[in-house]
Structure 1
Amino acid sequence: MAKKKKQLPLPLYDEVKQLNESLFNEQFDWETPEYITNNMVHTFRYYQNAALRFFHYSQVAEAFRFRNVNHVLFNMATGSGKTDLMAGLILYLFQEHGYQNFLFLVNTNGVLNKTIDNLTNMSSEKYLYTPQIEIDGERIEIRQVETFPKTQSKNTIYLKLATVQRVASDIYTQKENAMGAEDYARDKMVILGDEAHHYSASTKSEKETEQSWEKAISTILHANEENRLLEFTATIDLENKNVYEKYKDKVLYRYALDRFIQDKYSKNVKRIQSSNTDVDNMLNVILLSEYRRRYALEEHRIYMKPVIMFKSQRIDASNEAHEQFNRLVETLTVESLKSFLDRQAQIASEDDSETLALAHDYYRNHETLSDVVRDIKRELAPTRIINANDTSQSGILEKGHYEALNSLESPSNLYRVIFAVARLTEGWDVLNLFDIVRLSDDPKTKGTKATTMSEAQLIGRGARYYPFLLEGERSFTRRFDDDSKDSLILETIHYHTINEPQYLKNLVSALDEMNLPTGEDKKNPLLDVKVKPAFKRTNVWKYGRIYYNETVEVADNYYDSLEKYGVDTTNDVVIPYISSLQEVGYKDTKVHEDYSNAYNVAVSFDRRYLQKVMNRLCFYHFSNLKRYIPLLKSREEFLEERWLNIYNRTIYVTVPQTMDGEVLTPTEKLNILEQYFIDVSKQIKAGYSKERGTGKFIGYPIKEYIANYRKRVPNYDTGRAFMQDDPQTVKRYELKEDFFVYDSAIINLTEKQLIDRIAERVKELEKVYSDVYLIRMDENMHRESAKNNKLKLHQFGTGHDEVHLAGFQPDFILYLQNTDYFIQIFIEPKGRNIEEQQWKEDLLMYINEHEAEIIFEDEMQDVKIKGVKFYTMNDGRGSIRQIGEIALGRLFKGLSVRD
């Protein structure tokens, strides 16, 4: 196992972290201002809010009163939204500190063009601001300039975007109409340095040239004592002594790639290692890519265009591979495809790729392969291939295909395949890249450390999550269980590698050095988890029961109105203006706005708008609507009085006082309606179920429902230095203590910590209860037996904030019994997505607060059903304290009220 690197001290980062946690920090309650949230298309994720807050502390906190923190670095993962953060920082520095001049530095023209789209091109789909920026009732203009004007207009942000090469040249050569050092001294300004690892020439070589980029940037920074330098990079080599000395007191915030992946903002990463020829690897990746497209369409009704990248070491080899690929597709026949599948079956082994095996099985069981061959020839035709090779060593976006490469997610962009050698890929933020194929080039070629590190960085870029629509919803985090079939096909990027030992050793080393969690995509055996023989000899096993509330069947005719789903169809609708326009806002954040100086405007629309919105959202396709509303006869009926009653109600949009709500554009109206229809779809899905809970609890015999089961351990062999301490990392643990009923548990660190904390309290519990057992209710146990689907907790009674009829299975039951009574405590550990699943904790609390509503099938024994708050790492919500209060009527010994 890779050893975890010793963390080098970063004084500024550590100081600001402590400030962030301190109640004595006068700025501790500072939050991202509304003038940022209201003026940006994307809502900040938690770590972007934290990065902005850390910068704010460095500029205004009492601890920094006598220090000029004018140079900081944000070390944030590729794909984590650094440009969004920069856009927010521009507004922050303009509003809070009066900066109007911003110099945005990049390393390549390709990244420069992308950034111009991000920050200045309002017609671009990639533009990060709302169409009209408004702060304190004033319109703010962002004006792109070549030089900062001597006389500056009010409410104007001047943005100079340039490559560092050009800016350095201007500084040293003093060309006419170019900005020299004195121009950067006239008015205070901010430098935003993207991909900052390129700007440290002297720190890498130890010998600074007189005209280095680094010196030019330093000259600009020190031209005016109020100038600021904000650097951003995903790659900083702090192991390099000189780099560390430069940046140790400048790193302000860190959000590494490993955390980005663990937080599910990315695809998973799997490696497919093969000894096949390049041609066979090409056909395998063609079949896998087409399987992705077909699976998405056939299983989930998703249109997905997965992109393949073929990566070579040499341009001539890449061009030759391109020709091979075209010949392969052109000459493919049903017979040659069958022959290939037969050949792959003959050489198959247990170490083969699980995902490729799924694809091969799909084609072997396909009724006719003629349509498969026809689709391959259409989808992967020469006109859908980009050859991004030239004789330069520049980045992929420099090669004359900027528009095509930068819009690969667009439905109108038909490209599916890219051939490239490009070493530098900064700025290429394609999201639907699902397969990268490393071609062999030359059998004698072994990947050097530099080569494999470049490839590891390419994998990191390709791991950006693709936010496909599913049932009308777009998510920016992974939705499926890792290593599940859906996850492997729709949420995993595969890196197809050559099976050359030295190359693989260097690649794995590079991935480990990046702390990038990846695993070989091979068949992952199921592990047995067994009920302990000693537990099977107890009376609890023989006679004990576990209790869940009974459900009653919900007939189709029950759902005769949308009120049954929790949808209000009587009152008018009010949609906040800003929220309604954020159609691609991140799922796990909410926009908080102040509407104290706002008013409501009625949105006028006709049938065309409604049809457009319902066509946009897959949820409202009639075949899907009918699944959730069995009595529905047509989409048009859905809009009418019996259901949504949309024509008899008014939809209002809440707009700022300074905005003329009477001039809403058609696009704005569509987005407002779409937001409302998305909210309704969520309510319908949450409120629909074939069964609903009651207050009657049924006791299920433990010996019939607690059973052996099998489960996989996620297969990662890189990034383990980080993962070994991550709360969500899943491992197998042997558990010999008698109180735990299984011989082992395949769980994450949060769940393991819960087990350990209960283990510490068992002796204290045993003084009151003769039987103390902790039961892990794993979902895999349900899959072993259909009857175990009964073991779910459902909402019952009234007064729930959200309707969720489907129910859920709390992960643990603490079973406590003595001669007088029996207590069953539901416990649910939770490490992420707490806000989205708050309804589960609310249900656990509802049980405690509504004991009078609970009845039992068997009144022979005094039974108590209880729940506790989510158990989080280090028991942040006081679950253990609650268990003590429920089980003992007091706190556990050694716990304080604060615990």
Structure 2
Amino acid sequence: MTDKPLLHEKLTTGAEFLGGSDFYQKNIPDCIASNLNPNFQLRPYQFEAFGRFKYYMESYPSRPKNTPTQALYHMATGSGKTLIMAGLMLYLYKQGYRNFLFFVNSTNIINKTRDNFLNAISSKYLFNETVQVNNQQIRIKEVDNFQATNPDDINIVFSTIQGLHTRLNTPQENSITYDDFESEKIVLISDEAHHINAETKKTKDINQAELFDLNSWESTVNKIFNANNQNILLEFTATEDLTNEQIIEKYRDKIIFDYPLKSFRMDGYSKEVKVLQSDIQPFDRALQAILLSQFRRKIFEKHGWMIKPVILFKSKKIKDSNAFLEEFISKIKNLKESDLAKIQSNPNLDSNLKKVFDYFQSNQITLENLALELQEEFSENKCISVNSKNESEQKQIAVNTLEDSDNEYRAIFAVDKLNEGWDVLNLFDIVRLYDTRDAKSGKPGKTTLSEAQLIGRGARYCPFRLEEDQPLYQRKYDILNDEKEHDLKLCEELYYHSAYNPRYIQELHTALEEIGIKAKTSRECKLFLKPDFKDKSFYKIGMIFKNERVKYAREDVLGLNASFIETIHKIPLLSGYSQSLTVFEDEKQKQANKKQKDYFIKSFGSSVIKKALSKFPEYQFSSLKCFFPHLKSLSEFIESDSYLGKIRIEVEGSEIVVNNLTQDNKLDCVVRLLDKLSSQLQAEKIDYKGTKEFKPFMVKDTFTDKTLNIVNDGNND
């Protein structure tokens, strides 16, 4: 294998000559940031990914001309590959491309991606509310083929690799054909792209003609790609085998960006991974995970974040998964104080589990009450199985929206349906329900590597912060010996629960090191103040005045913000109005006659308002008490003039509708108002305040030596 540098290495070196290491980050296309969903704050490496492609397409001197363009993004699971796809589609639209073919090997991933690209009300929708390129509003549309597409739209065909191969080689009416790719320039987007390299890996002796003729997925993709010399193939994967000689040669001049899991973790964008092995029965192992999960939920709530941690229970076989689900439902339903006491009394109990029990005890939560709480939190209707093909297709949306406020699932039971394409941030525990190994010659086997990759998928960071100056999407509590360990540190960790099996754990550690989610070694690094600074009189006798950051108990909050109460909130209703126009006649378009009418929402009745409140977990009474400590009941929140009692809305719609609101109309109005209020409450939420009193402290006591937890990935840095 030659030592010739890879494309991404050349681009990295070239940046220094072009304007510095951040050259690409500062030169991203204007049409990208303004048209992506503003809720997804772009990260530095994503700016880098966009800027590299723009430079490669427009300025890179060695890019092949008059031939199709192929580029590979090798990026860690959870690093936002789909957002990169969306941004590149916008850039290529501006360059004149209109037709995009997205393909992957899994139907589940297709369904998830289709939702992310097309469903504007999805929490994971990738684009802004309106998309404008060249001052023209454009639409993102799904099409079956490219034969009669709108030249002003972004037109996307979604397909599995297998389905694409079948449709092209056994064409049917209105289906995509090879002809689509000859007359139009196409952008092919391949997710989990390592699946299309079957033949590249198979033999190093195969020539290009033989590769083209082979009736396989890879040859089908190659045939499409080469149909037009302006076609572009964008490949995305987290797990390409870049140690394979044939793969590395194929992609030597195509890997435009390499951001592996190792870099993702070291930059703080992932959870830290802990392996908790216990020599106990599988259900007791599951119970430990449940306790940690419920503890995390309470810690999040303590700090004002309504984050619901979820658990994945992973079985070896589908029949085992189904059997454990039945056992789980039955034992949770009959959970007793003694079951929890058995866990607590274990003399070898993990230190973090001890903290969990200490926390419950210090907060006056008895084991009896805790058992009742867990029965509710992990009841049958909050468990979901994704094992059979039909189940997985029906429930894929549910397992991809686990972070949503209206998604109540806490426990997922699966074998391998979620190994690829599962986007989940609030997974904090994976419970391995079997105890087998498949290592050979000391190397991790296929199953162990798959488990490591699943851990990498679950290690995506769940965003939260306590202060505005903290990073939202990065770990914040890695520092050791800084007063004491923060209780939120456990909320930045993913626990992998397994049986006590030291040989398996060693194999898993090796697999985690290989994919980059675990450092090969870690050590504590002491940071010392400079001796000459310590010798200065300022350090020895100097004073610094500090106020204290104290928990804001909101005792001075007696109701909703006055401006919210006094504002008349406008709620437009669908009027049902429609009209037809004769295309070739100069006919004036009539406007719908809309009326407005004011209502106090209190007049809709408490049953309507309570039903609307029940749709939002933040309006549960326990959550409302966090915002309004003087609130005595849910009825007071509905009826009091300090809360919802005086709030008015202006309903707009047809005269008949606004004067005769149905119960559904009323419910819709209240839900939309509460959604607006929820956003304001979160925006106004302050967890801490600084005291007005400043106290003197010695400089030498304020600035001290610290210890950092440093990882060593074997690069001698």
Q: Same fold (TM over 0.5)?
A: yes
1:503 & 1:552 partners in 2: Cα distance?
48
Q: Secondary structure at the match of 1:325?
A: helix
Secondary structure at the residue paired with 2:494? strand
Equivalent residue letter for 1:278: P
Aligned positions of 1:824-863 closer than 5 A: none
Q: Distance in 2 between matches of 1:531 and 1:40?
A: 44
User: How far 1:248 sits from its partner (Å)?
Assistant: 1.4
Indicate conservation of the 8 Å contact 1:409/1:432, yes or no.
yes
Q: Which amino acid aligns with 2:338?
A: E
**1:377 to partner: Cα distance:** 1.2
| Contact 1:553–1:691 (8 Å) recurs in 2 | no
State yes or no: 1:167 paired with 2:167: no
The partner residue of 2:340 within 316, 337, 340 is: 337
Partner of 1:304: 307
Deviations 1:363-401 (A, max 9, x none): 5655522211111111112222222223x7xxx984542
Correspondence for 2:513: 512
How many angstroms apart in 1 are the aligned matches of 2:617 and 2:224?
52
Among 398, 410, 425, the residue aligned to 2:419 = 425
Partner Cα distance (2:155, 2:124) in 1:
20
Write the distance in 1 (CA, Å) between the matches of 2:253 and 2:359: 55
1:282-293 correspondence to structure 2 within 5 Å:
282-293=286-297
> Structure 2 vs 1, CA of residues 140 and 417 (structure 1 numbering), >3 Å: closer, same or farther?
same
Structure 1 stretch displaced more, 250-259 or 471-480: 471-480
Whether 2:224 is the aligned partner of 1:227: answer no
Q: CA 1:176–1:370 in structure 2 vs 1: closer, same or farther (change >3 Å)?
A: same
Q: Report the CA distance between 1:341 and its aligned residue.
A: 1.8
In structure 2, the CA distance between the partners of 1:115 and 1:637, relative to structure 1 (3 Å rule), is: same
Q: Secondary structure at the match of 2:139?
A: strand
CA distance, structure 2, for counterparts of residue 244 and residue 672 of structure 1: 52
- Cα separation, partners in 2 of 1:28 and 1:20, compared to 1, 3 Å: farther
Displacement after TM superposition at 1:247 (Å): 0.9
CA shift digits 1:856-887 (9 cap, x unpaired): xxxxxxxxxxxxxxxxxxxxxxxxxxxxxxxx
Alignment of 1:198-597 (within 5 A): 198-206=195-203, 210-297=214-301, 299-342=302-345, 344=346, 346-348=347-349, 353-363=350-360, 366=364, 368-390=366-388, 398=392, 400-422=394-416, 425-441=419-435, 449-468=445-464, 476-478=472-474, 480-482=476-478, 484-517=485-518, 544-549=540-545
Asked if 2 retains the 8 angstrom alpha-carbon contact of 1:467 and 1:474, the reply is no
Q: Map of 1:445-844 to 2, 5 A cutoff?
A: 449-468=445-464, 476-478=472-474, 480-482=476-478, 484-517=485-518, 544-549=540-545, 681=684, 688-691=689-692, 700=698, 702=700, 705=701, 714=709, 720-721=713-714, 725=717
Identity of aligned residues (%): 33
Shift of 1:231: 0.4
What per-residue deviation string (whole Å, max 9, x for no partner) do you get for residues 739-794 of structure 1?
A: xxxxxxxxxxxxxxxxxxxxxxxxxxxxxxxxxxxxxxxxxxxxxxxxxxxxxxxx
Q: How does 1:92-131 map to 2 (within 5 A)?
A: 92-95=91-94, 97-131=95-129
Q: Out of 22, 42, 50, which is 2:17 matched to?
A: 22
* Cα separation, 2, equivalents of 1:337 and 1:9: 60
1:543-602 CA distance string (max 9 Å, x none): 942343577999x9xxx9xxxxxxxx9xxxxxxxxxxxxxxxxxxxxxxxxxxxxxxxxx
Give the equivalent residue in structure 2 for 1:789: none
The separation in 2 between residues aligned to 1:369 and 1:699, in whole angstroms, is 43
2:132 and 2:519 map into 1 onto residues whose CA distance is: 44
Inter-CA distance 382–545: structure 2 relative to 1 (3 Å threshold): same
Cα distance change, pair 443–318 in 1 and its aligned pair in 2 (3 A): farther
Specify every segment of 5 or more residues in structure 1 that has no aligned partner in the other structure, as ranges: 1-5, 561-568, 570-604, 628-633, 640-664, 726-899
Give the partner amino acid of 1:505. Q
> Structure 1 98/617 Cα, relative in aligned 2: closer, same or farther at 3 Å?
farther
Give yes or no for the alignment of 1:83 onto 2:82.
Answer: yes
1:57 alignment counterpart: 55
In the aligned structure 2, how far is the partner of 1:606 from the partner of 1:38?
37
In the alignment, the residues of structure 1 paired with residue 600 and residue 465 of structure 2 have an alpha-carbon distance, to the nearest angstrom, of 24
Q: In structure 1, what is the equivalent of residue 567 of structure 2?
A: none
Indicate the residue corresponding to 1:74 in structure 2: 73
CA contact (8 A) 2:427 2:494 kept: yes
- The separation in 2 between residues aligned to 1:102 and 1:712, in whole angstroms, is 51
C-alpha separation between the residues in 1 aligned to 2:12 and 2:529? 45
Paired residues in the alignment total: 617
User: What is the Cα-based RMSD across aligned positions, in Å?
Assistant: 4.8
RCO higher in structure (CA 8 A, sep ≥6): 2
Name the residue aligned to 2:576. none
Matched to 2:246, the amino acid is: N
Alignment check: 8 A CA contact 1:302 1:470 kept: no
2:568 matched residue in structure 1:
none
- Matches of 1:57 and 1:701, distance apart in 2: 50
Render the CA deviation track for 1:637-672: whole Å, top value 9, x for unaligned.
Answer: 999xxxxxxxxxxxxxxxxxxxxxxxxx99999999
Quick one: structure 1 residues 310 and 39, their matched pair in 2 at CA, closer, same or farther if it must change by over 3 Å? closer
Q: Which amino acid aligns with 1:87?
A: A
Structure-2 separation of matches of 1:356 and 1:419: 23
Q: What SS is found at the alignment partner of 1:304?
A: coil
Aligned AA (1:250) = K
CA distance in 1, matches of 2:253, 2:222: 16
User: What secondary structure does 2:413 align onto?
Assistant: strand
Letter in 2 for 1:195: E
SS at match of 1:244: helix
SS at match of 2:275: strand
Matched AA of 2:8? Y
CA shift digits 1:604-623 (9 cap, x unpaired): x99989x99999799x9786
Q: Is residue 37 of structure 2 the alignment partner of residue 33 of structure 1?
A: no
Quote how far apart the aligned CAs of 1:267 are: 2.0
Following superposition, the deviation at residue 333 of structure 1 comes to: 1.4
Taking the aligned partners of 1:715 and 1:328, their CA distance within structure 2 comes to: 42
Give the match for residue 136 of structure 2. 138
Deviation per residue, 1:450-490 (Å, 9 max, x gap) = 11110111011111122358689997424641273433332
Deviation at 1:171, TM superposition (A): 2.7
In structure 2, the residue matched to 1:751 is none
Code of the aligned partner of 1:258: K
Change (3 A) 1:334 1:314: same
Q: Give 1:518 shift.
A: 6.3
